[in-house]
């Protein structure tokens, strides 16, 4: 026989201990590895979602509110030798055929077969209908064959915020039948944003949507697939194939004028094109033509005229020596105003400010010359195609997007329009015109190239301008999506944290079970030493007996981990679904994770066994032979053992008092941390006191035990270390469960206050179709069909949206480019809305909202975000930056300058509206709103907004509900922690039962003696129960008291939703569980023929 | 072969550091093949003396020499080797391993050798077990044996490595009279046939009477031949 075979023999003989070790190691391993597998499953699900969202798409071209030839896809496909699909994507409000249910912010995707090919899916049979994806079908309650109604945000010919852009005709409606419901495998989950929550999608034939949106042959998105396709390759192909028409430019030959003319379908030519235009032909010159309100001279005024600003020296109308304060007028105007050369005329005109606020400005000019309406002065083509002007025969039918006083139009004005149409009545220098009428969309309305061929111009333009400058650039959408998933919420670590106490309890239990098994064989160990085995050999033997079952336990636990993970995923899909925003998580495991979990748990349990064994074999053989194993705890030669505990208790109590006193009146989160520290110190103090009391009683020589309860208390001191281990395990568990569980948030409490997470606002709303007007003005309310009296009962903070990744706790992916909200922050500063967790530049009297106003640098824009967005969704801190590309593909950075506490603005970065408009000028109107409603009018406001703005697809949410939804994620994590912590305490209770069994077995002889001297079995049972219930009571009192101190701030804070009942029930459950385990163990231990123990054997 | 020279043993109380004198100036000589009984009242230090002789404890002062070697200067590993090869122990509570058979229990001391039990050791085990009339129980577990049988197994275990010295601490303390007599005879017989020096600590006058010499230990002082 060898030592190893003796170890095997012992394991088999003491099978109960062996099984106990295997099972507890299995539990610990199952929980540990299971937590890691949850992480694996979430990561796998997110990775899989990239495929569901994007199919084989590698690169995507998504210019902001721009349209280009769908045929560009074919050209690029040939160049790249890979599939490229054109898509026309618009937003819509969709309702079921009966209108009963509706969905806002739906993606309407005009696609063809190439789209589905990229998605590895079969295209649906349209049958003159459309397809919806599963989530939309569920939301509307529709199936194939049912009708739905779409109200689609119609793209404007020019951006809606462009001056003179019409503010009507914002949407178009259509009713179609659902021909198919597309699942994830049908590419129904298409979404460019890295979000695991499925979007709401409608799929329609591309040609049909092009007709409906009046965008024939156009698309606004390209998806390029192809293994290894890089953005550089795709962008090179764009550079080779793009045409001016793809940037809304038209180049035509004007025979009469003898020029090739470049003009834009967006009316204003964008800056990069305008800068390049003069280089495309010799003597090319720019023109900026505007519609002015009036031209005045003294009391006379000519209404609603066209004025052209032309580059100096380009034509005879604006000679090279003309100054910027001079004007050339035509004879008609001169006659109308009775103007002469040298007179000073005033031009008044509208510019559009934020929220389409019309600001009338004016400027005076000195008449330099009067020209006849002939030659270059008789050129109606100098007026761009202003919608509502150029296509109208009668002045009185003008709808130029600004208010017109039709009463001011005279017959002669009508005649002028009939005879000369948009022929300008006056001419100024281009510099003068640009200083008056240039805007973020451009500062020219045309470029004219004398004696030039349009084809040559087109070639030179496309060669000289980077298409990225007009928004035509590909981005690595797949790589971004994979990165977002890989960097997303680490559910493995999260669940490890939530399960930590359960794992610790299992490990402690492993050590307890093993040590108890060894203690039973103390004399055997002594005998082995006595017959000449070395301590190393004996320790090795016992270690083998400990480690071998650990291997089995780890293997069993690894198998159980698969089941545990499935249970956790089931929980995440049902009861705890708010923790993952209802996402579908798929079970997945990797061998590497299984091995990692097994190895780590094996090492941890092996270490705990090694630690536990240290003292077992260090005792002298003679003591072991006599069964005198003493588990000493802090015993020193000169210090009474109990004194150590009292010293620890006093020091920690003093520390707690000092810490509490030094805390002052810091902010709530700081105070919470300090109080937690105070609670932890009190916990240690309580445990130290417990040790001191146990040791004191153990060594006390005074007094005599005179009651059963007194005897029970004395008995708890028999194995002080063992008793203390149980108290520590249970007290720490109770402390953690109560202290963490008390940190729930109730968003309802204090929600009306400005400093709360709602900002004091009543509603948060988003619209599908942008609202262009100022809803805080009577004109704005009327323009969108709202009751003007709303101005007295509600206030609106209107925000622009630049779409991006959802950076809220609902998105498991790491947001790469979070959604941007553009807000005029000064009103928020005036209201002192929301509370800040931190700011970069703290000035006591200045609201951090004002930090948004000034840009930090040319390429750096300040932003404010919710602290949860910054910390968890982005993994960043205050002062960190996020990279973006503007509308022209130029990189810029957004720097976080302040963070908000637990607010409804979670999920986006807030920047100043002006910065958003500068970086993304094509973002139309306002789509997000904070609404302050007077309390007594809130319902009426809600009703009016929901009904009257239905066509805008406005979705209104009470702010408390929105906050509650965010809080539900954190609260769900706390629920999971409570449940797992509670399980850990149940495991701890099993430890208590083991201690009971062990104690009784140790004392079988003396218990038998007590029976022999007349103690009935019931009395012995009661004594044992009292003894161990005393330990349980001590643990609960220490743990609960320390926890209550730790959570004092939470108990007193507004918004605290301490789940008193559930915590109380948890503590009661722990107490009851412990009492039951003790009673059960006592019953088992006292079974059998106890009196036999009075014999030697 | 065994000599104790002015051996004293004190224990210090962990509570107050006060020294308790267990053995005082013990002098003892035992030659090979001889037998000695040490008797004395409870608490006189008999087991302590045996532990010191058996290298399970170290004296506070004095020397313990086994075949001329001073055990006081040896390391724990060296003492373990001494106990394994040159000393055999018989305990009052046999301390057999319940998970092992009779044969395996007898071979436990051979586990100290990394190679384990040699064939020679096995043969010796069978021979000794036959000598003590347990040859038919080699594959039985201790739980299947009577008290006397278990103690006989313990005696064989103590002799497996042919020790020069056999120590027995109350070997018949937990046995009935008849069985105790059997064990006493067995010890004496093996002492004679194996040539092993035998020291027995006992309360039993009958067992002590079997030994060649008897010395009495009273309050830590080993007196010369006790009158029985």
pLDDT tens digit string along A118-127?
Answer: 999 999 999 9
Confidence of residue A382 (pLDDT cuts 50, 70, 90): very high
Min Cα distance A558 → chain B (Å) is 30
Most confident of A735-739, A910-914, A1004-1008: A910-914
Query: Which is nearest to A46 in space by CA: A969, A816, A813?
Result: A813
SS3 (DSSP) at A182: strand
Task: Residue A527: list chain B partners with CB under 8 A.
Answer: 91, 95, 97, 108
Alpha carbon distances (Å) from A694 to A715, A1007, A1071: 10, 21, 21
SS3 (DSSP) at A375: helix
Q: Is the pLDDT of residue A803 over 90?
A: yes
pLDDT at A337: 95
Confidence of residue A671 (pLDDT cuts 50, 70, 90): low
Nearest to A534 among B54, B80, B161 (CB): B80
- Residue contact B97–A10, C-beta within 8 A: yes
pLDDT at B167: 92
Nearest to A13 among B47, B99, B147 (CB): B99
Alpha carbon distances (Å) from A943 to A142, A790, A842, A958, B88: 26, 12, 41, 12, 98
Q: Which residue has the higher pLDDT, A501 or B2?
A: B2
First to last CA, chain A: 27
Q: Is the pLDDT of residue B102 over 90?
A: yes
Task: Residue A534: list chain B partners with CB under 8 A.
Answer: 76-77, 80, 112
pLDDT at A636: 36
Q: Do the bridges between strand A474-475 and strand B87-90 make them parallel or antiparallel, or are there none, so unpaired? A: unpaired
- Residue contact A533–B95, C-beta within 8 A: no
Residue A814 in contact with residue A487, Cβ under 8 Å? yes
Confidence of residue A211 (pLDDT cuts 50, 70, 90): very high
Instruction: Dig out the tokens for B221 from the structure.
Output: 């002082």
d(CA A162, CA A153): 17
- Residue contact A1097–B14, C-beta within 8 A: no
Task: Residue B9: list chain A partners with CB under 8 A.
Answer: none
pLDDT at A1096: 41
Q: Is the pLDDT of residue A614 over 80?
A: no
Residue A223 in contact with residue A84, Cβ under 8 Å? yes
Min Cα distance A622 → chain B (Å) is 6
d(CA A1044, CA A1036): 12
pLDDT at B228: 42
Query: Is the Cβ of A535 closer than 8 Å to some Cβ of chain B?
Result: yes
Mean pLDDT of A1066-1088: 82
pLDDT at B207: 86
Q: Is the pLDDT of residue A352 over 90?
A: no
Q: Is the pLDDT of residue A907 over 90?
A: yes
- Residue contact A699–B98, C-beta within 8 A: no
Task: Residue A625: list chain B partners with CB under 8 A.
Answer: 91, 95
pLDDT at A990: 80
d(CA A501, CA A486): 27
Residues 332-361 of A with CB under 8 A from B: none
Task: Residue B17: list chain A partners with CB under 8 A.
Answer: 637-638
Min Cα distance B25 → chain A (Å) is 21
Min Cα distance B178 → chain A (Å) is 18
Q: Is A488 exposed, middle or buried (0-12, 13-18, 19+ CB in 10 A)?
A: buried
Q: Is the pLDDT of residue A667 over 60?
A: no
**What are the residues whose beta carbons fall under 8 Å from the beta carbon of A581, sequence distance 6 or more?**
A196, A197, A809, A810, A811, A812, A969
Query: Is the Cβ of A630 closer than 8 Å to some Cβ of chain B?
Result: no
Mean pLDDT of B22-45: 89
Mean pLDDT of A367-396: 87
Min Cα distance A527 → chain B (Å) is 6
- Residue contact A529–B157, C-beta within 8 A: no
pLDDT at A552: 94
Residue A142 in contact with residue A132, Cβ under 8 Å? yes
Task: Residue B111: list chain A partners with CB under 8 A.
Answer: 1-3, 6, 528, 533, 537
Query: Which is nearest to A717 in space by CA: A784, A642, A658?
Result: A642
Task: Residue A522: list chain B partners with CB under 8 A.
Answer: none
Q: Is the pLDDT of residue A719 over 80?
A: no
Q: Which residue has the higher pLDDT, A1047 or A800?
A: A800
Confidence of residue A1060 (pLDDT cuts 50, 70, 90): confident
Q: Which residue has the higher pLDDT, A111 or A484?
A: A111
Mean pLDDT of A630-646: 51
Instruction: Dig out the tokens for B130 from the structure.
Output: 């036959």
- Residue contact A1096–B83, C-beta within 8 A: no
Task: Residue A531: list chain B partners with CB under 8 A.
Answer: 83-84, 89, 108-109, 112, 157-158
Residue of A nearest to B84 (CA): A532
Nearest to A533 among B80, B117, B174 (CB): B80
Query: Is the Cβ of A695 closer than 8 Å to some Cβ of chain B?
Result: no
Contacts made by residues A256-261, CB under 8 angstroms, sequence distance 24+: A256/A379, A257/A376, A257/A379, A257/A381, A257/A448, A258/A450, A258/A451, A259/A448, A259/A449, A259/A450, A259/A451, A259/A452, A260/A448, A260/A449, A260/A452, A260/A453, A260/A454, A260/A457, A261/A381, A261/A446, A261/A447, A261/A448, A261/A449
Task: Residue B110: list chain A partners with CB under 8 A.
Answer: 1
Confidence of residue A262 (pLDDT cuts 50, 70, 90): very high
Mean pLDDT of A645-672: 75
d(CA B78, CA A897): 72
- Residue contact A534–B77, C-beta within 8 A: yes
Residue of A nearest to B173 (CA): A1096
- Residue contact B93–A1096, C-beta within 8 A: yes
- Residue contact B99–A10, C-beta within 8 A: yes
Confidence of residue A631 (pLDDT cuts 50, 70, 90): very low
pLDDT over 90 for what percent of chain A? 42
- Residue contact B83–A524, C-beta within 8 A: no
**What are the residues whose beta carbons fall under 8 Å from the beta carbon of A710, sequence distance 6 or more?**
none
Query: Is the Cβ of A643 closer than 8 Å to some Cβ of chain B?
Result: no
Residue of B nearest to A538 (CA): B112
Residue A670 in contact with residue A1022, Cβ under 8 Å? no
pLDDT at A641: 57
> Which positions in chain B have a beta carbon within 8 angstroms of at least one beta carbon in chain A?
14-15, 17, 47, 51, 54, 56-57, 76-77, 80-85, 87, 89, 91, 93, 95, 97-100, 104, 107-112, 116-117, 147, 157-158, 161, 173-174
Mean pLDDT of A330-341: 95
Global confidence as pTM: 0.81
Q: Is the pLDDT of residue A663 over 70?
A: no
pLDDT at A470: 87
pLDDT at A620: 82
pLDDT at A629: 44
Nearest to B84 among A526, A532, A638 (CB): A532
Mean pLDDT of A388-399: 79
pLDDT at A722: 75
Residue of B nearest to A15 (CA): B99
Compute the count of residue pairs across chains A and B with CB atoms less than 8 Å apart. Answer: 92
Query: Which is nearest to A1086 in space by CA: A1023, A1043, A992?
Result: A1023
Residue of B nearest to A637 (CA): B14
Mean pLDDT of A46-68: 91
* Mean confidence (pLDDT) of chain A: 86
Residue B159 in contact with residue B121, Cβ under 8 Å? no
**For helices A535-573 and A15-54, what crossing angle results, to 10°?**
40
What is the length of chain A?
1097
Mutate to test the interface with B, among A10, A520, A530 (most CBs of B within 10 A): A530
Token look-up 């560009």 returns A72
d(CA A172, CA A159): 17
Residue B98: Cβ within 10 Å count? 13
A188-192, A994-998, B220-224: segment of lowest average pLDDT:
A994-998
Residue A324: Cβ within 10 Å count? 17
Most confident of A241-250, A854-863, A1084-1093: A241-250
- Residue contact B111–A12, C-beta within 8 A: no
Residue A587: Cβ within 10 Å count? 16
Task: Residue B51: list chain A partners with CB under 8 A.
Answer: 622
Q: Is the pLDDT of residue B112 over 80?
A: yes
- Is the ipTM value over 0.85, yes or no? yes
Residue A223 in contact with residue A87, Cβ under 8 Å? yes
pLDDT digits (tens, 9 = 90+) for A553-574: 999 999 999 999 999 999 988 8
d(CA A905, CA B28): 92
Q: Is the pLDDT of residue A886 over 60?
A: yes
- Residue contact B89–A530, C-beta within 8 A: yes
pLDDT at A261: 92
Q: What are phi and psi of A154, to 5 degrees?
A: -85, 130
**What are the residues whose beta carbons fall under 8 Å from the beta carbon of A747, sequence distance 6 or more?**
A757, A758, A902, A960, A963, A964, A966, A967, A1055
Residue of B nearest to A523 (CA): B95
Min Cα distance A532 → chain B (Å) is 4
pLDDT at A162: 66
Confidence of residue A613 (pLDDT cuts 50, 70, 90): confident
Residue A926: Cβ within 10 Å count? 28
Confidence of residue A1056 (pLDDT cuts 50, 70, 90): low
pLDDT over 70 for what percent of chain A? 93
d(CA A436, CA A293): 13
Confidence of residue A65 (pLDDT cuts 50, 70, 90): confident
Mean pLDDT of A703-707: 61
SS3 (DSSP) at B165: strand
Q: Which residue has the higher pLDDT, B207 or A204?
A: A204
Query: Is the Cβ of A871 closer than 8 Å to some Cβ of chain B?
Result: no
- Residue contact B56–A530, C-beta within 8 A: yes
Task: Residue A520: list chain B partners with CB under 8 A.
Answer: none
Min Cα distance B32 → chain A (Å) is 20
Most confident of A315-329, A483-497, B200-214: A315-329
Nearest to A1 among B81, B107, B174 (CB): B107
Q: Which residue has the higher pLDDT, A1000 or A911?
A: A911
Q: Which residue has the higher pLDDT, A387 or A894?
A: A894
């Amino acid at each position: 026989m060898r030592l190893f075979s003796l170890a095997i023999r012992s394991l088999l003989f003491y099978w109960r201990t062996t099984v106990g070790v295997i099972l507890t190691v299995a539990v610990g391993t199952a929980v540990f590895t299971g937590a890691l597998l949850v992480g694996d499953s979430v990561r796998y699900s997110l990775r899989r979602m990239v495929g569901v969202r994007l199919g084989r798409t590698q690169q995507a071209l998504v210019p902001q509110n721009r349209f280009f030839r769908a045929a560009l896809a074919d050209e690029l496909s040939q160049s790249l030798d890979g599939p490229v699909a054109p898509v026309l994507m618009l937003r819509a409000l969709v309702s079921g055929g009966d209108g009963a249910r509706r969905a806002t912010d739906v993606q309407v995707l005009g696609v063809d077969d190439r789209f589905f090919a990229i998605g590895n899916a079969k295209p649906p049979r349209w049958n003159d209908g459309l397809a919806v994806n599963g989530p939309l079908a569920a939301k509307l309650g529709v199936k194939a064959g049912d009708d739905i109604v779409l109200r689609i945000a119609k793209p404007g010919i020019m951006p809606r915020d462009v001056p003179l852009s019409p503010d009507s005709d914002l949407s178009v409606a259509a009713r179609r039948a659902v021909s198919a419901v597309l699942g994830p495998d049908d590419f129904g989950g298409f979404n460019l944003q890295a979000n695991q929550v499925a979007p709401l999608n409608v799929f329609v034939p591309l040609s049909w949507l092009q007709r409906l949106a009046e965008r024939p042959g156009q698309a606004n998105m390209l998806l390029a697939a192809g293994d290894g396709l890089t953005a550089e390759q795709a962008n090179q192909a764009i550079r080779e194939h793009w045409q001016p028409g793809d940037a809304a430019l038209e180049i035509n030959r004007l025979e009469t004028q003898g020029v090739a003319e470049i003009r834009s379908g967006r009316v204003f030519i964008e800056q990069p094109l305008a800068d390049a235009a003069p280089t495309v032909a010799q003597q090319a010159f720019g023109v900026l033509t505007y519609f002015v309100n009036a031209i005045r001279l003294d009391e006379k005024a000519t209404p609603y005229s066209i004025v052209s600003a032309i580059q100096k020296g380009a034509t005879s109308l604006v000679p090279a020596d003309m100054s910027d304060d001079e004007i050339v007028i035509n004879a008609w105007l001169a006659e109308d105003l009775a103007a002469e050369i040298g007179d000073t005329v005033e031009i008044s005109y509208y510019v559009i400010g934020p929220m389409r606020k019309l600001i009338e400005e004016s400027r005076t000019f000195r008449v330099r010359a009067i020209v006849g309406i002939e030659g270059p002065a008789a050129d109606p083509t100098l007026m761009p195609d202003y919608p509502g002007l150029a296509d109208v025969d009668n002045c009185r039918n003008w709808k130029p997007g600004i208010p017109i006083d039709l009463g001011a139009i005279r017959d002669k004005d009508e005649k002028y329009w009939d005879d000369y149409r948009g022929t300008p009545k006056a001419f100024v220098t281009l510099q003068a015109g640009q200083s008056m009428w240039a805007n973020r969309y451009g500062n020219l309305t045309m470029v004219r190239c004398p004696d030039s061929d349009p084809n040559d111009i087109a070639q030179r333009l496309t060669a000289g301008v980077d298409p990225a400058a007009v928004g035509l650039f590909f981005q690595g959408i797949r790589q971004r999506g994979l990165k977002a998933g890989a960097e997303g919420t680490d559910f493995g670590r999260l669940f490890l944290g939530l399960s930590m106490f359960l794992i610790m309890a299992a490990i402690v239990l492993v050590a307890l079970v093993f040590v108890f098994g060894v203690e039973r064989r103390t004399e055997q160990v002594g005998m082995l030493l006595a017959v000449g085995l070395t301590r190393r050999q004996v320790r090795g033997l016992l270690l083998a007996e400990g480690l071998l079952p650990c291997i089995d336990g780890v293997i069993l636990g690894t198998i159980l981990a698969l089941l545990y993970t499935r249970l956790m995923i089931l929980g995440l899909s049902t009861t705890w679904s708010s923790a993952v925003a209802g996402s579908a998580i798929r079970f997945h495991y990797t061998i590497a994770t299984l091995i990692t979990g097994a190895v780590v748990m094996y090492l941890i349990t092996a270490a705990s066994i090694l630690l536990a064994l240290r003292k077992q074999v260090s005792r002298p053989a003679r003591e072991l032979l006599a069964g005198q194993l003493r588990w000493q705890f802090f015993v020193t030669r000169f210090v009474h053992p109990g004194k150590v505990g009292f010293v620890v208790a006093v020091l920690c109590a003093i520390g707690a008092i000092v810490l509490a006193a030094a805390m002052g009146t810091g902010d709530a989160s700081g105070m919470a941390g300090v109080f937690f520290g105070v609670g932890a110190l009190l916990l240690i103090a309580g445990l130290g006191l417990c040790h001191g009391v146990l040791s004191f009683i153990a060594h006390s020589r005074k007094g005599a035990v005179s009651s059963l309860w007194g005897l029970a208390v004395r008995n708890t001191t028999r194995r002080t270390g063992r008793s203390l281990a149980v108290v520590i395990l249970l007290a720490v568990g109770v402390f953690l469960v109560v202290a963490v569980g008390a940190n729930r948030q109730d968003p309802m409490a204090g929600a009306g206050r400005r400093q709360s997470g709602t900002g004091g606002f009543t509603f948060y709303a988003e619209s599908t179709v942008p609202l262009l007007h100022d809803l805080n003005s009577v004109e704005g309310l009327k323009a969108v069909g709202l009751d003007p009296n709303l101005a007295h009962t509600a206030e609106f903070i209107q925000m622009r949206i630049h779409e991006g990744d959802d950076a809220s706790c609902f998105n498991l992916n790491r947001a790469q480019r979070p959604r941007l909200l553009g807000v005029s922050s000064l009103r928020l500063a005036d209201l002192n809305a929301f509370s800040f967790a931190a700011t970069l530049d703290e000035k006591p009297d200045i609201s951090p909202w004002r930090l948004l106003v000034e840009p930090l640098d040319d390429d750096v824009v300040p932003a404010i975000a919710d602290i949860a967005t910054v910390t968890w969704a982005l993994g960043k801190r205050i002062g960190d930056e996020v990279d973006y590309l503007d509308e022209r593909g130029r990189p810029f950075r957004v720097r976080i300058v302040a963070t908000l506490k637990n607010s409804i603005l979670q999920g986006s970065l807030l920047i100043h509206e002006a910065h958003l408009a500068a970086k993304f000028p094509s973002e139309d109107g306002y789509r997000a709103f904070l609404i302050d409603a007077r309390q007594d009018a809130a319902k009426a406001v809600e009703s009016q907004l929901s009904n009257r703005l239905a066509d805008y697809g406005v979705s209104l949410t009470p702010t408390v509900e929105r906050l509650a939804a965010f809080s539900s994620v954190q609260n769900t994590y706390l629920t999971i922690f409570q449940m797992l912590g509670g399980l850990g305490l149940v495991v701890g209770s099993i430890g208590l039962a083991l201690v009971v069994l062990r104690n009784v077995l140790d004392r079988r002889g003396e218990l038998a003696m007590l029976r022999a001297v007349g103690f009935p079995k019931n009395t012995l049972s009661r004594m044992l129960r009292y003894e161990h219930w005393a330990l349980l009571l001590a643990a609960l009192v220490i743990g609960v008291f320390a926890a209550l101190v730790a959570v004092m701030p939470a108990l007193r804070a507004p918004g605290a939703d301490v789940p008193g009942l559930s915590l109380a029930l948890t503590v009661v459950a722990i107490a009851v569980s412990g009492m039951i385990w003790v009673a059960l163990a006592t019953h088992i231990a006292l079974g059998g023929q106890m009196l036999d123990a009075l014999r030697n054997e | 072969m065994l000599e104790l020279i002015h051996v004293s043993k004190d224990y210090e109380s962990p509570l107050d550091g006060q020294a308790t004198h267990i053995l005082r100036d013990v002098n003892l000589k035992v030659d090979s093949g001889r037998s000695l009984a040490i008797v004395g009242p409870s608490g006189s230090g008999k087991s302590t003396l045996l532990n010191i002789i058996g290298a399970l404890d170290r004296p506070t002062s004095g020397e313990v020499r086994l075949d001329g070697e001073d055990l006081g200067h040896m390391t724990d590993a060296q003492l373990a080797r001494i106990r394994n090869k040159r000393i055999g122990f018989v305990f009052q509570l046999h301390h057999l391993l319940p998970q092992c058979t009779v044969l395996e229990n007898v071979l436990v001391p051979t586990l100290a050798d990394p190679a384990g039990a040699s064939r020679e050791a096995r043969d010796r085990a069978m021979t000794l077990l036959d000598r003590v009339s347990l040859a038919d129980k080699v594959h039985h577990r201790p739980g299947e044996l009577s008290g006397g049988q278990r103690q006989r197994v313990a005696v064989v275990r103590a002799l497996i490595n042919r020790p020069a010295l056999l120590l027995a601490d109350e070997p018949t303390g937990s046995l009935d009279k008849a069985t105790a007599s059997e064990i006493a005879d067995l010890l004496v017989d093996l002492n004679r046939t194996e040539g092993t020096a035998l020291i027995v600590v006992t309360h039993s006058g009958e067992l002590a009477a079997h030994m060649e010499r008897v010395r009495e230990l009273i309050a830590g002082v080993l007196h010369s031949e006790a009158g029985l």
